[in-house]
Amino acid sequence: MRTQILVLMMALSTLSFGQKTITLQVKENTVPCEGVAPMDCMQVKEGNATSWSYFYSTIEGFNYQPGYLYKLSVLKTKRTGNIPADASAYTYKLKKVISKKKVQVPNTAYLNKKMVLTRINGKPVTGGKVFMTLDNTRNSISGKSGCNRFNAGYKLSGNTIEVNPLMGTMMACDPESMQLEQDFMAAMGNKKFELQSQGNTIHFKDPKTKTAVLTFQIPAESEIWSFINGKKWKLIQMDHTGQDYGKAMIQFDVTTKKVSGNSGCNNFFGGFTTQGDEISFTALGSTKMACLDKGAADTEKKMLQHLSNTSLRFDVAEQTLNFYKGDKLIMMFGMVR
């Protein structure tokens, strides 16, 4: 009898080993994150945690709805045996929804998109020389301030953004661009703003006066492709190395969704698809001429490798067409006049 009780207790102990009930708060919005692939993650606080963390797993039995702040009772179990490389070390199962509160979610459609400055303190700004992107995965701002590249950290809380001091390169430009840069840096850096998003227009307002200090415009996809379409774009930088890449260039036909160009030695051709600022090249082919020049051969190999990536991010900055893999600028093309 004692032996049976001991065996039963050991079995129960084995079943409960690595298991515990935890409290999870789940935030009202998901954010882009990088697991084994790009994905959207819930943000959670476990127990008495004071800061939000990305949640890369799932909660069995939990039906998440954006716009609600949840408090959950969850059974957390440690996995045993061989755990797949792309799996969490724990499994999660919903025991009870303790609370579910409706939360007003701010419009943050402007995040991770290029914004072009159109006004400073009510005065029009033209030429597209000042632009920036708010990266919400790194809480960083990067862009061009008129002449130089700049970056800064920021903190976003609801519709309020606090911008850290701007750090930039130190190139000299024409007087008009330098004055624009000076005005922008003075208006933007180390300040707090109230954000107002109206379609593709974003106002950075003074929290006290409610007047727009800076106004930005997100270019429509049709505008961007109208500018790219049909032009020849010469490769001027690859993997952070700027140099003359010879014949390497790229050209797009928006109507037929075809891409063509030269990869340094051979001509290439294929198709492309886009979704927002993401682009994928399809059915790429090329001529088969021998590359006797080692530099051209190296250029060709790297360029075709980059174009063969599953998906790239792109943007247009003044006279350049830029391609990114994750956060890394991998190719920059200059418009051929």
CA distances, 34 to each of 31, 56, 249 (Å)? 10, 9, 31
pLDDT at 125: 92
What Rg do the C-alpha atoms of the chain give, in angstroms? 26
pLDDT at 327: 66
- Whether 337 shows a pLDDT value over 80: the answer reads no
What is the DSSP code (8-state) at residue 165? P
β-sheet bridge partners, residue 47: none
pLDDT at 105: 61
CA distances, 303 to each of 85, 174, 296 (Å)? 31, 33, 10
0.85 exceeded by the pTM?
no
295 pLDDT tier (thresholds 50, 70, 90): very high
Which of 317 and 134 is assigned the larger pLDDT?
134
**HSE toward the beta carbon, residue 60, CA cutoff 13 A:** 8
- Whether 6 shows a pLDDT value over 80: the answer reads no
Is 270:285 a contact under the CB 8 Å cutoff?
A: yes
pLDDT at 330: 92
Counting residues of the chain whose pLDDT is more than 90, the rounded percentage is: 55
- Whether 41 shows a pLDDT value over 80: the answer reads yes
pLDDT digits (tens, 9 = 90+) for 112-162: 788 999 999 999 998 888 999 888 777 889 888 988 889 999 988 878 999
2 pLDDT tier (thresholds 50, 70, 90): low
Highest mean pLDDT among 82-86, 212-216, 321-325: 212-216
Q: Which fold has domain 221-335?
A: Lipocalin (2.40.128)
Of 51, 47, 50, 49, whose CA–CA distance to 74 is shortest?
47
Which residue ranges make up each domain of the chain? Answer: 2-102, 114-217, 221-335
**Rounded Cα gap, residues 233 and 301, in angstroms:** 18
Q: Of all helices (H) and strands (E), which one includes residue 172? A: none
**Rounded Cα gap, residues 172 and 66, in angstroms:** 47
302 pLDDT tier (thresholds 50, 70, 90): very high
Q: Which fold has domain 114-217?
A: Lipocalin (2.40.128)
Is 177:168 a contact under the CB 8 Å cutoff?
A: no
- Whether 93 shows a pLDDT value over 50: the answer reads yes
pLDDT digits (tens, 9 = 90+) for 228-273: 999 999 999 999 899 999 999 999 999 999 999 999 999 999 999 9
